[in-house]
Amino acid sequence: MSVTNLPGGSTSASTGVPPTKVTMPALAEMKRQGKTIAALTAYDYPTSRLADEAGIDLILVGDSLAMVVLGQENTLAITVDEMLHHTRAVRRAVRRAMVVADMPFGSYHGTISEGVANAIRFVKEAGAEAVKIEGPRIELVRALSEAEIPVVGHLGLTPQSLHRMGGYRVQARSAEAALQLKADAHALALAGAGALVLEGVPREAAAAITADLPIPTIGIGAGPDCDGQILVFHDLVNLTFAPAAKFVRRYADAGALIRTAIEHYREDVERRAFPSDEESYHLPEAARQALEASLAVIENASALRKA
């Protein structure tokens, strides 16, 4: 058991007043005002709470969860129920940031009504404030918007298209492909998407899209000209056990920190340095004396029996 201050989430340190919630219209306003959107993935209560308290605007419960938390080879096998489970944990932790749930592979690739029904589950059962879908699925985005579900689009390197792309490759590497990406981005915005993740595309393509798109772009491996940036939490703190991609900046080495802490714990246990007397519970003095007296009686009786 670990005692956690459960009803948490961030409040203003000075006033104790809950901060203003980040919503899709608030992200649009940030773009209008030229304020950069800071986004991050998270998949559990403590990480989400820390991200929220650190002022992250948008927390994505990404299907990258399959790889960085569940150790799977790619994102394709994760299910709606698994994503719901983690989205609930994130939602419990977050007060200010907008919580976006990634729709997993297969949950929106059939009929439009199946896609809408699955998206409704994320809002209704897990408290998601928007869903993210990969690819230029214009009809689905329109249907989700009509169903009052805010949508974040995702274009460029879309990991759920791994097999079609033939690997995780930078996309839109020609002028023609960049123009197609721009057209797709505008079609998504017109269909009702409220924001757009651009992943693994050349800086120039992302800049050209961002310049006249009416909704904010949030880049990952798309250069510095997007309206916001997102990273996978485990990349940011070096918990991935793999070399970092070119676009990743490691802000901490949590892998080394945690490994060292666990090694110290193991060593202390092995040499009986943990727990100490101060880390132990004690009987009240009277009970301790009574226990000692009883043990002495038992020991004497046992000695007499042996004699």
Q: How far is the CB of 90 from ligand KIV (least distance, A)?
A: 13
Q: How many CB atoms lie within 10 A of CB 50?
A: 15
Q: Angle 80-93/45-53 helices, nearest 10 degrees?
A: 40
The structure tokens listed for 244 are 């970092």
53 binds ligand KIV (CB under 6 A): no
Q: Is 299 annotated as catalytic?
A: no
Verify binding: residue 63, ligand KIV, rule CB under 6 A. Answer: yes
- For the chain, give the longest Cα–Cα distance: 99
Interaction of residue 62 with ligand KIV, rule CB under 6 A: yes
Q: What mask of x and - would describe binding to ligand KIV in positions 109 to 148, judged by CB under 6 A?
A: ----------------------------------------
Integer Cα distance of 182 and 277 in angstroms: 66
- The DSSP code for 129 is S
- The helix/strand/coil state of 124 is helix
Q: Is the dihedral of CA 291, 297, 303, 305 positive or negative?
A: negative
Q: What is the distance between the alpha carbons of residues 117 and 174, in angstroms, rounded to a whole number?
A: 37
Stretch that binds ligand KIV, among 9-17, 56-64, 88-96, 236-244 (CB under 6 A): 56-64
Q: How far is the CB of 180 from ligand KIV (least distance, A)?
A: 20
Pattern 218-237, ligand KIV, x by CB under 6 A: --x---------x-x-----
Catalytic member of 53, 129, 134, 199: 199
- Site of interaction with ligand KIV (CB under 6 A): 41, 60, 62-64, 102, 197, 199, 220, 230, 232
Residues tagged active-site: 199
